[in-house]
Structure 1
Amino acid sequence: MDQVSLQLTEDGSHTLYNAELDETYHSNRGALAEARYVFIESGFAVVLPHITQQLNILEVGFGAGLNALMTLGYLDELTAQRAGDIPQVHYVSLEPFPITAQLAQQLNYPALLPTRYFSLFDAIHQAAWNTQVRLSQQFAIEKRVVALEQFEGCPASFDLIYFDAFAPSKQPDVWSLANFQKCFALLKPDGMLVSYCANGQFKRHLKAAGFSVRAHPGALGKREMTRAWK
């Protein structure tokens, strides 16, 4: 992973830059702000109220672990406020090329968030790969070193998919119709897929796979992002 290095985004939070792809892991306008808006406010917070027992999330692209951190932090806040009525969250994240532990420790997300995020951030990055690890009473994570194409999941087992791969122009194979057919099969009825991307071919593939696709205002001045339901 020598080709991956740190960069600062406009909100002061780090992203990672992949020199091989000439692409950053997050918006240059703000990594934290983008993750919070796209995946938490427009995804997790929308689905969570409709789940009573366990919410299963599949993330395509663990990357810097930011979406996992923000999901666990949001859940932790809700649990502190409303003890007893928060569903369990099982978070499965796919990443064929994990960053090194040394690089992860340089990320500045905990310094920009409430103090309790320090321990959450460490727990996420120290969790062993390819096994389920419980990080709190309400949250378990399973980081898998595998691409979506090779991932073997049970049909109709996920309530929410975070699709956070590199842009279609950089990794077109990841955004294939076959992958979205697979995502559709992995989702439960009424499950949702959420992505920062609003690419036209991406949305056509989603519709061809059977999704109901709805444009949604994008983060940080971007015109649109995408939410799609089964």
Structure 2
Amino acid sequence: MTNFRRIDQCGSLRCLPPNRFLCHCPLNCDHVSSFCPIMPIPQRATFPTDRPDLNVLVTDDGSRTLLRTGTSDSFHSGCGALSETRHVYLHNSGVAERLAHQRPTRVLEIGLGTAMGMIVTIGEAIHCDSEIDYVALETDWIAATTMQHLNPHEWTQESDLVDRYLDFRRSISTPVQPGRYQWAFDRLRRLRVDVADAAKWRPGEEAAFDAIYYDPFCPESAPQLWSSDCFRQMKSAITATGTLTTYSCSRAVRDALAEAGWSVDRVAGPVGGKREVLIARPQ
């Protein structure tokens, strides 16, 4: 049985149950109907990486992401990996504004993935000469050899950041063992990667994040990461004025967030991508 995916304005794939299609009504209401027309999926270039289970997908803004071989599970929207990352996470979270005003900022990312969000965000902190602590949770930490297929130097003007992060990743053997790995670009920009299951992760005393980039695979591929229990753990890790941002705005995700004590707003998605994405704040 074919497993169709949610389709962005540009035809990018997002998870949908088998034989169900997204209704493209003007309100982006997330109604799903087998009678709704389905948008054609643009043909996008793909090619292999050093890992047989991952291919490169060239997205519509020219940036590259990863695609699970034999599936439609991509690490970013096919409409534009870099534009999605900057819009949904860096800007919607308020992190860009905090960094511009040189406010020390703590970010938690659920799903480091290709490390695009981290590189974009720390690169912005370097540009603004701002302090940042960035913590990312990941179970499959992508190796430097795989990242190089994605042209990560195109994600930021801070080329030294990319070079030094790749060197850091090379210093850790693959497969990476569960644990906590720390690295500092300099005294103001710090990274910690927790190789751990986010569904079982518990925030420690060092919590109080200003922003959570919630970017795991879609609810159909990783349902345990979109439960109200998981969102309660996220709420215990956020500051009173913090934000959680994510690409998914399905009714089930909104309900799970609300049940966990979040106030949820649907806002415009990136140009050419999803019509709406989510910003959540603790109540």
TM-score bin (small chain): 0.7 to 0.9
118-127 or 161-170: bigger deviation: 118-127
CA contact (8 A) 1:7 1:16 kept: yes
Q: What is residue 3 of structure 2 aligned with on the other side? A: none
CA contact (8 A) 2:99 2:125 kept: no
Instruction: Please report the TM-score for the alignment, with normalisation by the length of structure 1.
Output: 0.87
Match of 2:214 among 163, 174, 184: 163
CA contact (8 A) 1:6 1:14 kept: yes
Q: What is residue 147 of structure 1 aligned with on the other side? A: 197
Q: What is residue 225 of structure 1 aligned with on the other side? A: 277
> Partners in 1 of 2:244 and 2:64 — Cα distance?
25
In structure 2, the residue corresponding to 1:161 is in which secondary structure? strand
Q: What is residue 122 of structure 1 aligned with on the other side? A: 163
Assess, with a 3 A threshold, how the Cα gap between structure 1 residues 2 and 98 changes in structure 2: closer, same or farther.
farther
Q: What is residue 194 of structure 1 aligned with on the other side? A: 245
Q: What is residue 83 of structure 1 aligned with on the other side? A: none
Counterpart residue type for residue 224 of structure 2 = D
Deviations 1:81-128 (A, max 9, x none): xxxxx3x211000110112221112211314643xx322122233335
**CA positional deviation for 1:22:** 2.9
Counterpart residue type for residue 149 of structure 2 = Q
Q: What is residue 15 of structure 1 aligned with on the other side? A: 65
CA contact (8 A) 2:120 2:155 kept: no
CA contact (8 A) 2:199 2:224 kept: no
Counterpart residue type for residue 194 of structure 2 = R
Matched, 1:99 2:142: yes
Counterpart residue type for residue 125 of structure 1 = L
The runs of 5 or more residues in structure 1 that have no matched partner are 80-85
- Quick one: higher RCO (CA 8 Å, sep 6+), 1 or 2? 1
In structure 2, the residue corresponding to 1:106 is in which secondary structure? helix
Match of 2:113 among 42, 63, 78: 63
**CA positional deviation for 1:185:** 1.0
Instruction: Please report the TM-score for the alignment, with normalisation by the length of structure 2.
Output: 0.72
Q: Cα RMSD (Å) of the superposition? A: 2.0
Q: Over alpha carbons, which structure has the higher Rg?
A: 2
CA contact (8 A) 1:35 1:66 kept: yes
In structure 2, the residue corresponding to 1:127 is in which secondary structure? helix
**CA positional deviation for 1:149:** 1.9
Count of matched residue positions in the alignment of Structure 1 and Structure 2: 220
Counterpart residue type for residue 93 of structure 1 = A
Match of 1:5 among 30, 43, 55: 55
Q: What is residue 135 of structure 1 aligned with on the other side? A: 185
The runs of 5 or more residues in structure 2 that have no matched partner are 1-50, 173-179
Counterpart residue type for residue 211 of structure 1 = W
**CA positional deviation for 1:166:** 0.9
CA contact (8 A) 2:99 2:128 kept: no
CA contact (8 A) 2:265 2:279 kept: yes
**CA positional deviation for 1:152:** 3.0
Assess, with a 3 A threshold, how the Cα gap between structure 1 residues 112 and 185 changes in structure 2: closer, same or farther.
closer
> Partners in 2 of 1:51 and 1:167 — Cα distance?
33
Matched, 1:29 2:79: yes
**CA positional deviation for 1:178:** 0.9
> Partners in 2 of 1:21 and 1:95 — Cα distance?
20
Q: What is residue 90 of structure 1 aligned with on the other side? A: 133
Matched, 1:177 2:220: no
